[in-house]
Amino acid sequence: MKIGMIGAGFVSQGVAQLAIGKGHTVMLSNSRGPETLFSAAKALGCTAGTAEEAAVFGDVVLVAVPLKAIDALPAAALSGRIVIDANNYYPERDGRIAALDARETTTSEMLAKQLPGARIVKAFNAIRAVDLARDARPKGAADRRALPVASDDAEAKQTVMALIDELGFDPVDAGSLADSWRFERDKPAYGVPLGREKLTAALAAAERDVEDASWRD
């Protein structure tokens, strides 16, 4: 599979490392241009390009950028693509976003509105970058970590869930994009290593107006 990465931070590089280890081909991109990614791409064993090039390259495209930057994404190039939304809302970085503060929408629904032709799947946002390589396990391992996945596109969701399984985690179907708040920042399923059963329970226990910052511990 070809995987494009828009945003070349720790999460993107962590997923890229796992994907390349499984034989997938990866293209990194960022807002500053491919020349700034020479060292990172060489270390990972992948190529670098512009955001638009990464969008066209990928059968699946992972987007991990500051939420305030989603209006700069190449919407036309991402039309029809499976887009993995690994974004999170950090007000101290992104500024206050009234619709999110009022619980009127989710980060993924915001991205879907910005990319109307893309097939959005929320995933890889609820795990710390440092845990990607550390927590990946073979299928069937007793201590295998589970990761939540949400989408309005059943086929795209299954594609991403299969990728997550291949990369070393148990995928858990967390519902639609409207349900994805259950594993956004400061919810019980966010940033905490949990197996399938405990993750399912954490998703069910989440309350829209209640924050849980245990992931910071």
Query: What are 144-185's pLDDT values in tens digits?
Result: 999 999 999 999 999 999 999 999 999 999 999 999 999 999
The residue type found at 78 is L
Rg of the chain over Cα atoms, rounded to whole angstroms, equals: 16
Residue 217 has pLDDT above 90, yes or no: no
pLDDT at residue 212, rounded to an integer: 77
Taking residues 127-136, report their average pLDDT. Answer: 96
pLDDT at residue 214, rounded to an integer: 66
* HEC per residue, 129-171: HHHHHHHCCCCCCCCCCEEEEEECCHHHHHHHHHHHHHHCCEE
Taking residues 190-216, report their average pLDDT. Answer: 90
Q: Sort 56 into a burial class: Cβ within 10 Å, 0-12 / 13-18 / 19+.
A: middle
* DSSP run (H or E) holding 39: helix 38-44
Q: Which three-class secondary structure state does DSSP give residue 43?
A: helix
* DSSP run (H or E) holding 62: strand 60-63
Q: Sort 20 into a burial class: Cβ within 10 Å, 0-12 / 13-18 / 19+.
A: middle
pLDDT at residue 211, rounded to an integer: 85
- CATH number (3.40.190.10, 2.70.150.10, 3.40.50.720, 3.40.50.2000) of 2-216 reads 3.40.50.720
pTM of the predicted structure, to 2 decimals: 0.95
Taking residues 41-56, report their average pLDDT. Answer: 97
pLDDT at residue 155, rounded to an integer: 98
> What residues have CB less than 8 Å from 28, skipping those under 6 apart?
5, 8, 12, 13, 16, 34, 37, 40, 41, 44, 46, 47, 48, 49, 54
**Comparing C-alpha atoms, which of 35, 43, 72 is closest to residue 55?**
72
Q: Average model confidence (pLDDT) for the chain?
A: 96
- Give the span between the Cα atoms of 189 and 198, in whole angstroms: 9
